[in-house]
Amino acid sequence: MLFCTKFRFSVSCRFAGHIIPLGGMFMDKFTIQTCPLCGGVELERTLTCIDHYASGEVFHLCRCRDCGFLMTQDFPPENEIGRYYETPDYISHSDTRKGMVNSLYHYVRTYMLKRKARLVMREAHCNEGCLLDVGTGTGYFADMMRRQGWQVEAVEKNAGARDFAKQHFGLDVKPETALGDYEAGSFGVITLWHVMEHLEYLNETWETLNRLLNERGVLIVAVPNCLSYDARHYGAYWAAYDVPRHLWHFTPDTMQRFGAKHGFILAERYPMPFDAFYISMLTEKYMHRSCPFLRGLINGTLAWFSALVKKERSSSMIYVFRKKKSGGPAAV
Ligand SMILES: [Zn+2]
């Protein structure tokens, strides 16, 4: 189903009641009224983005005037967002090798899986233990860590992805509600690979992560970086804005502040410069430009060099958090 709401949407948001006329239909939307990072109420519209992946709908990004945090405004609530993930590619794209972009994606994914596993073991200072992978998707990372000897728990809200992980890897992936069932301090490592930007209950999730991590544990979070070279280059077209699936758009600064707010210290940051290639190719495709693969390759290379000079310009970044010794939340 395609809703072309480019201009109508922008004038039709009513109240904070979340009811928005859309393409002749009334749909629930979640209107953010206070910044989840600092509580500020002045949210300024800064970018207008199109959902190129699934619906064709238009969404606006708002920036908090107090702390600069960027968020997708009027996003679909949890019970409706499922259809924005529903394209024939959502599950299958993780297992198809058709096309040059997908081939490159699979090559890089294998490389990144190995790199992630090494990073986890280096940061955890051990080669085995209890790991929780939140938003495990189709289970590739969870499977790799289990094969490395780790005791792995995995949660994923998409039932199709859980089935895929079960069938391909024999993983018993649980729905996200299982997060409330684990004992406090159950895990030495918790990972969220490109998941946090999707979570409606952002602060609540941070609190849950703090509860589930043991006192010497390590929390590893990878998210796109909206201050990256490629984000600045492509502006509203940047594929990693990925509205409305991505609700929050983090920078190195806002990630550090979220961690501090919930009792964590940012211990390390790692660039993920290869993401720039995939994101650039996808963006070029969304822009309907000629030779998207070649253009994406060129821009990805420029982004890669840029991140080499300054890692804070990397397309995505991995953040490593440890618990503050006091364990209590701190002011931002
Ligand atoms: Zn704010």
Q: How far is CA 23 from CA 72, 158, 283, 289, in A?
A: 20, 27, 25, 28
User: How far does residue 306's CA lie from ligand 1's centre (Å)?
Assistant: 28
Task: Give residue 70's pLDDT.
Answer: 98
User: How far does residue 124's CA lie from ligand 1's centre (Å)?
Assistant: 32
The crossing angle, in degrees rounded to 10, of helices 159-169 and 140-147 is 30
User: How far does residue 303's CA lie from ligand 1's centre (Å)?
Assistant: 28
User: How far does residue 123's CA lie from ligand 1's centre (Å)?
Assistant: 30
Residue 60 token pair: 């606006």
User: How far does residue 42's CA lie from ligand 1's centre (Å)?
Assistant: 8
pLDDT 10s digits, 226-252? 999 999 999 999 999 999 999 999 999
User: How far does residue 204's CA lie from ligand 1's centre (Å)?
Assistant: 17
Task: Give residue 277's pLDDT.
Answer: 87
User: How far does residue 323's CA lie from ligand 1's centre (Å)?
Assistant: 23
User: How far does residue 332's CA lie from ligand 1's centre (Å)?
Assistant: 10
Of 6-15, 132-141, 176-185, give the lowest mean pLDDT range.
6-15
Average pLDDT, the chain: 85
pLDDT 10s digits, 3-12? 222 222 222 2
- Is CATH 3.40.50.880 the right assignment for the domain spanning 90-323? no
Per cent of the chain over pLDDT 90 is: 63
Task: Give residue 88's pLDDT.
Answer: 54
pLDDT 10s digits, 58-67? 999 999 999 9
Which residues make Cβ contacts (< 8 Å) with residue 171, sequence separation at least 6?
136, 139, 142, 143, 146, 152, 154, 165
pLDDT 10s digits, 91-113? 444 455 566 767 777 787 888 89
Residue 211 token pair: 């509860």
pLDDT-derived band at 326 (thresholds 50, 70, 90) equals low
User: How far does residue 199's CA lie from ligand 1's centre (Å)?
Assistant: 17
